[in-house]
Amino acid sequence: MYQFLIADDHPLFREALKGALKAQFEGLEVFESENFDTTLSVLQQQEELDLLLLDLHMPGNGDLYGLIRIREDHPSLPVVVVSGSEDLSIISKVMGYGAMGFIPKAASVEQITEAIEQVLDGESWLPEGMKDKVAELEGEDKELAQQVASLTPQQYKVLQYLHEGLLNKQIAYELNISEATVKAHITAIFRKLGVYNRTQAVLIASKLQLEPIEANE
């Protein structure tokens, strides 16, 4: 009996995907999460999961950070990214950062089933005709991913706000923490990323195509 986790912030999509998967995999047990924090919680509680189906744009996920963090903390868990985007540069990074597959949200039930079966067999999966178009990550990108993986979720949020150009007092307000705590996070971020100022940190965020987060996420 398989155990899957569907991590997506849209209840209707989770329900539809769960129903489709249960019809294809006998005895399947499905867990659900709607944001990055609840996903981490389920991953900690359910140690026998066979597969994670991950939405890149889930709240708190910070796009690629969620994938990078999960792959760092749970290296043996197969992760398949499910996304509405089919941007080749994003897919290249997704696969380069350790995902076993990339399934467009427009994929048919047959394609989703094929993808999951292939991943469960230990093989990677991409939509037909896409494998030859996806580029391998260069060494610099892999190194950056490893550095970002060392950031805690809170430090990553601070990095995102730096990327948006917020001042320390603004970041403190958004995260409901003191300016002293923000400064401590920034110091840790600089050390972990091997940089010396905000500009360099923001450049790293840009290279990883990190997108702005919503204020209340």
3-state secondary structure 59-88: CCCCCHHHHHHHHHHCCCCCEEEEECCCCH
Give bridge partners of residue 30 from the DSSP assignment.
4
Apex CA 216: angle with CA 53 and CA 82, to 5°? 15
pLDDT of residue 210: 44
| Whether residue 28 is found in the same domain as residue 92 | yes
Q: Residue 180 is part of which domain span? A: 150-207
| Whether residue 85 is found in the same domain as residue 176 | no
CATH number at residue 21: 3.40.50.2300
Give bridge partners of residue 184 from the DSSP assignment.
none
pLDDT of residue 137: 63
Q: What phi and psi, each to the nearest 5 degrees, are found at residue 29?
A: -110, 125
> Helices 153-163 and 198-207, interaxial angle, to 10°?
100
Could you give the residue ranges of the DSSP H alpha helices within the chain?
11-24, 36-45, 64-73, 88-96, 109-120, 139-149, 153-163, 168-175, 179-193, 198-207
| Whether residue 29 is found in the same domain as residue 58 | yes
| Whether residue 25 is found in the same domain as residue 118 | yes
CA distance 3 to 59: 23
Local mean pLDDT, 10-residue blocks, the chain (217 residues) = 94 93 93 94 93 89 83 92 82 86 90 94 87 68 79 90 92 94 95 92 74 40
Apex CA 145: angle with CA 127 and CA 81, to 5°? 25
Pairing of strands 3-7, 79-83: unpaired
In a domain, residue 186? The reply is yes
In a domain, residue 88? The reply is yes
pLDDT of residue 144: 77
Least Cα distance to 159 among 193, 136, 134, 128 occurs for: 193
Order of all β-strands in the sheet with 51-54: 29-33, 3-7, 51-54, 79-83, 101-104
In a domain, residue 155? The reply is yes
CA distance 97 to 179: 33
In the structure encoding, which two tokens stand for residue 29, read together? 């047990």
pLDDT of residue 176: 94
In the structure encoding, which two tokens stand for residue 201, read together? 């940190």
In a domain, residue 213? The reply is no
pLDDT of residue 114: 93
What are the distances in angstroms from CA 102 to CA 30, 48, 83, 86? 19, 22, 8, 9
In a domain, residue 215? The reply is no
In a domain, residue 145? The reply is no
In a domain, residue 141? The reply is no
Last residue of a domain, one of 99, 133, 167: 133
| Whether residue 98 is found in the same domain as residue 181 | no
In the structure encoding, which two tokens stand for residue 152, read together? 């805690």
| Whether residue 24 is found in the same domain as residue 121 | yes
